[in-house]
Amino acid sequence: MTAVNYLDGSGLRGALIMSAEYVQRHRADLNRINVFPVPDGDTGTNLALTVSSIADHLRRSTDTSVGIVAKAAAQAGIMGARGNCGMILSHFLLGMADAIGDRVRLTVAEFGQVLRSATEHVYRALEKPVEGTMITIMRAIADEAERLRDSDFVVLFERLLIKAREALANTPELLPQLKASGVVDAGAKGFVHILEGIAGYLAGDPLVALEEMPEFGAEPAVFAAAQAEYSAASEQYRFCTEALVRGSELPTQETVSAWLRERGDSLVVIRSNDLLKVHVHTDEPEAVFAYLRGFGELATKKAEDMQAQHAVAERAATGHMQLARRPISVVVDSACDLPDEIIRAHGMHLVPLNLIFEDRVMRDRLDISAEEFVEQLKTGAHPSTSQPAPAAFIEGFRRAAEEGESVVAVLLSSALSGTYASAQAALKHRAESDDVPIHLFDSKGGSLLQGLLALKASELGEMGWTPERIVAELERIRAQSGFFIVLDTFERALASGRVGRGKAWLGSLLDIKPVLDIDAAGKLVPIDKVRGRKNMMPLMLQVLERKVPRGAKKMRFGIMHIGAQEVLAPVTREIRARYGKDAEVVTMAGTPIFGTHAGEGAWGIAYLVED
């Protein structure tokens, strides 16, 4: 085994990516033993979503400076943090990044100092640090790292892992809820899994699972989250509420904490540069969202009914089924154009469509981003598109079924793609043992119309709605909502066969920009045209005004673009000037699936009417 005497950016990146794999591997186990601070059975999922946000961001990085990688990991953690465990881990990474500063690499002695600073940062940041949780493991390894300042990193993490497991074994002695249920703390165990991944990576053997921690009691408490008492004594507030705000003039962490303290508990707040992330258990989630909107753009918001979550866990335990952590798990295909941060915030499961170049197939959003696709368009690339194979949906449904009592899939219009048919085929080939009900919903739309419907499905599921009721509500909303797009060029529409060569030539000659609508049947139809790029925005806003029903009050909007980011700010301003300064507007670079047919410079508006 080769000694590792320093840690640089490449090493930290690889270690954190591997740690995410370890957490993913143990997600279901962490959900089962989750009883603190409330038995809602979601710690494994929340921690897995947080570390996957970090890993996905780091995979796109090539920096070799440990300081740059640490800052990137901290920012990705804040954006993707879910639940108490994810927020605390993000604070730890933020403390690490601050302590590392601009250093290119770290020695073992320096790393020990960084761990101490990161741990102290977490203790200072938390309203009420509770021993027996993740923070106890952090403090234990910081103590051990300072004692082992003369070792190498491989030996250091072997010893840190031993110390972390000892501290984990003691967590039931520090928290009565854990001892009563016969389990260790789920968040603390998740942090140990992170250390396992790092230790395995540094030892050069990352794919071999390290020794498991023993469970406590005669048998593992498989349904500890369901069996633990959920009462006002353990949790007096109902909604697990989270939000991410972006802004240039955000308030201090202390200011936000003081306001939220009067309205809830389990409070964790992170403020870093232009990001503010909040986690709080409250009975007033809408009041929290309204307060945060006053400081900037509310990028994500979520309010989960913890009583509904615990009821699901109880039903699973009674039926001797695998523990589900939520009533509804949502599946959506990548044509939805929802930002990654919204997909992660609500725990949606994304099934990618395929982009076919001459000699290779690339999965939308996984193998190629919207921005990378636009660069390909500029070089003259002419790919085609294909729906996901049934096998991709089978895998997506399997992952969703691990977390939800039922699954709702919100899919690209069956009139535009074979995606819906592929999902139907997947249902016919599921294993007989797959007994989680799956409900398919044809959005009769695409892009952010489909995305906003998926977001609505997630929100209703978080409130405890049944899948049948959710699908009925989506049908009602879809009937009064829509999406339309303006093309800047005929080139891609011509290449895809959507427009004839004669019309394309005449349109280009006259500088005509066609406006296409997804109609009630989910088909793409021309509805208007405009001459010249400068006239595109006024016409699109006129179309929006014609389409939104008079008197509608509860609305949200989406703006997508294909290499036309310059339209986002002015169109957002106009929408809020016309429909209210707090109107929710989701913006996103359009999926390559749409970009392939719409071409560079196209952009569209989605509107969801919920009255």
Alpha helices in 348-490 (DSSP H): 370-378, 390-403, 419-428, 447-462, 467-478
* CA-based nearest residue to 393, from 345, 433, 440: 440
Lowest mean pLDDT among 199-213, 388-402, 530-544: 199-213
DSSP per-residue string spanning 64-90: --HHHHHHHHHHHHHHH--HHHHHHHH
Q: What is the DSSP letter of 549?
A: P
Determine contact, residues 84/279, Cβ cutoff 8 Å: yes
Strand order in the sheet with 555-561: 524-531, 512-518, 482-486, 603-609, 555-561, 584-589
- pLDDT at position 217 is 35
What is the average pLDDT value for the chain, to the nearest integer?
Answer: 89
pLDDT above 70 as % of the chain: 89
Cβ atoms of 281 and 241 within 8 Å: the answer is yes
Q: What is the pLDDT of residues 412-454, one digit of tens each?
A: 999 999 999 999 999 998 865 578 999 999 999 999 999 999 9
Residue type, 433: S
Strand partners, 305: 239
pLDDT band per the 50, 70, 90 thresholds, residue 39: confident
Using DSSP's 3-state secondary structure scheme, residue 559 falls into strand
User: Hey, is 384 helix, strand or coil?
Assistant: strand
Q: What is the SS3 assignment for 459?
A: helix
- Residue 182 falls in which region: left (phi positive, over 0), alpha (psi -120 to 50) or beta: left
- pTM of the shown model: 0.88
Task: Give me the numbers of helices (H) and strands (E) for the chain, helices first please.
Answer: 26, 19
pLDDT tens digits, one per residue of 462-503: 999 999 999 999 999 999 999 999 998 766 554 555 444 445
Specify the DSSP class assigned to residue 442: E
CA 22 to chain centroid, in Å, comes to 18
Give all domains of the chain, ordered by start, each with its CATH number: 6-210 (1.25.40.340), 239-309 (3.30.70), 319-476 (3.40.50.10170), 482-609 (3.30.1180.10)
Which among 301, 256, 340, 335 is positioned nearest to 584, based on CA atoms?
301
How far apart, in Å, do the first and last CA atoms of the chain sit? Answer: 64
Closest Cα to residue 190, out of 44, 399, 409?
A: 44
Could you give the CA distance from residue 40 to residue 323 in angstroms, rounded to a whole number?
11
Q: Please, which residues have CB within 8 angstroms of residue 372's CB and are 6 or more apart in sequence? A: none
- 57: amino acid identity, one letter: H
DSSP helix/strand/coil, 369: coil
The reported pLDDT for the residue numbered 150 is: 81
